[in-house]
Amino acid sequence: MIEFSEVTKSYSVGTHALRGVSMQIEDGEFAFLVGPSGSGKSTIIKLITGELKPTSGTVHVNGYSLERIRKREIPYLRRTVGVVFQDFRLIDTKTVYENVAFAMRAIGAREGEIRDRVPYILELVGLENKSRRHPTELSGGEQQRLAIARALVNNPSTIIADEPTGNLDPARSLEIMSLLQEINNLGTTMLVVTHERDLVERFGKRVIAINEGLVVHDGMDGYYRV
Amino acid sequence: MKVTNLGYLMKEGIRGIFLHGFMSFAAVLVTVACLVIVGGFSALVYNVNIMVEDLNKTNEILAYVDSDLTDAEARSIGTRINQLPNVFKAEFKTRDVALQEFVADHQNDPAFGGLVPDDLRHRYVIVLEDNELMHETVEKIEALGGIAKVNAAFEMAEGFITLQNVLHIASITVIAVLLVVSLLIISNTVKLAMYDRKDEISIMKMVGATNGFIRLPFVVEGFVLGMLGAMIAFFILWAMYNLLVNRLAEVDTLKLFSFVPFVQLLKPMVATFAGAGLFVGVVGSWTSIRKFMDV
């Protein structure tokens, strides 16, 4: 579960990125986080992944209190939150298989577990036949699938997708969103940050809209106004 | 970090060397260049120091034996002089030999033609181990029974001591500066290598890797590169040193310079190079990676 309570975040340059954000995303929920550039979306993601600490208020993510989390606990928080980025952030020198296995090795998984789980995840995202390819040999949609596989492989309770379709054409965008919905159907909490109004409206899920550091809309109908 | 991961992390460290071949090459090259310069200068200083010490040993003390003593009594003092602390060697010289040398030194000047051995005294030519203790040693020789007078070139000894001290300070300063500059250059090269892989590090952080897991391959890589650089530098220095010494021996027919064989420098050089390689490799990568860990 993700819970923000009266969260503010100010940067040393004097910018007030968040000005009292409160919201709650339940386990297994699917929500879109929308808002214009500079509205505070990235700050919310960074607070969830422990890259930032709130200036005031409380942030709870999957049992961790972010306002008083210790540095050495952050890796363990991140294992509960898989992140998918717009620019994929894959390691080009590793194969598809290795990119996914790498995430498992990073948390100390055994080789046997890796050999069992990676093919299963690659099959889930439809890349089972491309495990020996390198990311540069894949299309944009496939690279994003790979990024999703990597985020998913450690079985996190939450996935945050930051503009996951920003670099894709409409058909591939729809595919990726459908994949994220499938993953959500399996029980993973999903928070998708996006600019794409069409997609948001098409999926008709909960929408949290942010503007100038405040939640300006929080509704279940897929419609929003910022 | 689990022990089961150690093999994988070691392998990743070695793999990283080849994967980032150019940066690895640059890091080794910089380490080699710096260590050859520092090592070469240290070897030079070591040799100059030995040369000055040898030169210092030519500063002899003359202890004149009381002329009342018999030849046998005069010779027996030698044992007591040689037993004194700080005496490297004491050589007995009879008055006959002393006269021959005196006349020869003055190119058989007829002015000294009337001199007979009895005009001179038996004497001991004494070489000290440490000329800094010349005053104390001379006092001890004078205190021995049967010694009439001791002649010692205190000013020359002090001159040598000053020269040695200046050399020491200058060499330590230059070596320290070279070492610091080398460490800075090497550390910057390692930082560049890290910068090359900042994306990889940020992905590792994002998927929940612990700092130890992220650091170990880099430290392994730094260790291997540092030791490789140190080893190459050591063999280059060895070859260069021998080449220089052999060339110098051919040119220096007057034997003005005497360099110790490299084997004599082997142990300290191996220890210093291994230490420096380990330090720049492991500490360099450990500290350089720190700034990329705060993600």
C-alpha B276/C-alpha B21 separation (Å) is 22
Q: What is the pLDDT of residue A226?
A: 59
The pLDDT tens digits of the residues spanning A64-76 come to 999 889 988 999 9
Task: Give the chain A residue whose CA is nearest to the CA of B2.
Answer: A108
Structural tokens at position B32 = 């080699």
C-alpha A132/C-alpha A109 separation (Å) is 21
Does a structural domain hold residue A20?
no
DSSP class of residue B207 equals T
Does a structural domain hold residue A166?
no
Q: What is the pLDDT of residue B248?
A: 85
- Write the CA distances from B130 to B43, B57, B86, B151, B154, integer angstroms: 22, 9, 6, 17, 12
- As annotated, the residues of chain B forming the CATH 3.30.70.3040 domain(s) are 60-152
CB pair distance less than 8 Å for B207 and A150? yes
Does a structural domain hold residue A97?
yes
Which of A64, A87, A94, A107 best probes binding to B when mutated, by most B CB atoms within 10 angstroms?
A107
For the CA atoms of A95, A104, A160, A8, what is the dihedral angle to 10 degrees?
Answer: -130
C-alpha B279/C-alpha B295 separation (Å) is 26
At residue A58 the predicted structure's pLDDT band, cuts being 50, 70 and 90, is very high
CB pair distance less than 8 Å for A107 and B209? yes
Sequence-distant (≥ 6) Cβ neighbours of residue B46 within 8 angstroms: B260, B265
Q: Which residues of A touch B206 (CB under 8 A)?
A: 49, 78, 83, 89
Q: What is the pLDDT of residue B294?
A: 65
Instruction: State the greatest distance between any 2 C-alpha atoms of chain B, in Å, as a whole number.
Output: 102
Q: Which residues of B touch A49 (CB under 8 A)?
A: 206
Check if the beta carbon of residue B150 is closer than 8 Å to that of residue B141. yes
- Name the residue facing A89 among B8, B203, B208 (closest C-beta): B203
Sequence-distant (≥ 6) Cβ neighbours of residue B291 within 8 angstroms: B191
Q: What is the pLDDT of residue A214?
A: 95
Per-residue pLDDT of chain B (295 residues; tens, 9 = 90+): 555 677 777 887 787 778 778 878 888 888 898 889 888 888 888 888 888 777 777 778 899 999 888 888 889 999 999 999 989 899 999 988 988 888 888 777 777 777 788 888 899 999 988 888 889 999 999 998 889 899 988 888 888 788 878 888 888 888 888 778 777 776 777 677 677 778 878 888 888 988 888 888 888 888 888 889 889 999 999 999 999 888 888 887 767 777 888 888 888 888 988 888 888 778 877 877 777 776 5
Does a structural domain hold residue A141?
yes
Q: What is the pLDDT of residue B4?
A: 60
- Name the residue facing A51 among B2, B203, B295 (closest C-beta): B295
Q: Which residues of B touch A105 (CB under 8 A)?
A: 5, 8
Exposure pattern of A115-141 as b/e (b: 16+ CB <10 Å)? eebbeebbebbebeebbeebbeebeeb
Q: Which residues of A touch B202 (CB under 8 A)?
A: 89
Of A211, A207, A186, A210, the C-alpha closest to A198 is A207
Q: What is the pLDDT of residue B167?
A: 82
Of B128, B163, B151, the C-alpha closest to B49 is B163
The pLDDT tens digits of the residues spanning A181-223 come to 999 999 999 999 998 888 898 888 999 999 999 999 998 866 6
Task: Give the chain B residue whose CA is nearest to the CA of A106.
Answer: B209
The pLDDT tens digits of the residues spanning A91-148 come to 888 999 999 998 998 888 888 999 999 999 999 999 999 999 999 999 999 999 999 9
- Name the residue facing A110 among B4, B19, B200 (closest C-beta): B4
CB pair distance less than 8 Å for B295 and A75? no
Does a structural domain hold residue A115?
yes
Q: What is the pLDDT of residue A95?
A: 95
C-alpha B243/C-alpha B238 separation (Å) is 9
DSSP strand pairing (A189-194 vs A158-162):
parallel
Check if the beta carbon of residue B133 is closer than 8 Å to that of residue B142. no
Task: Give the chain B residue whose CA is nearest to the CA of A45.
Answer: B206
Show the DSSP H helices in B58-153 as ranges: 71-83, 95-105, 134-143
Show the DSSP H helices in A17-91 as ranges: 41-48, 74-78
Does a structural domain hold residue A1?
no
Which of B207, B213, B293 best probes binding to A when mutated, by most A CB atoms within 10 angstroms?
B207
Sequence-distant (≥ 6) Cβ neighbours of residue A185 within 8 angstroms: none
Q: Whole domain around residue A116: which residue ranges? A: 89-155
Check if the beta carbon of residue B231 is closer than 8 Å to that of residue B35. no
Does a structural domain hold residue A72?
no
- Name the residue facing A107 among B8, B208, B295 (closest C-beta): B208
- Chains A and B form CB pairs within 8 A to the count of 52
For the domain B60-152, what is the CATH code?
3.30.70.3040
Does a structural domain hold residue A215?
no
- Alpha-carbon Rg for chain B in angstroms: 31
Compute the nearest-CA separation of A82 from chain B (Å). Answer: 7
DSSP strand pairing (A30-34 vs A56-61):
unpaired
**Number of compact structural domains in chain A:** 1
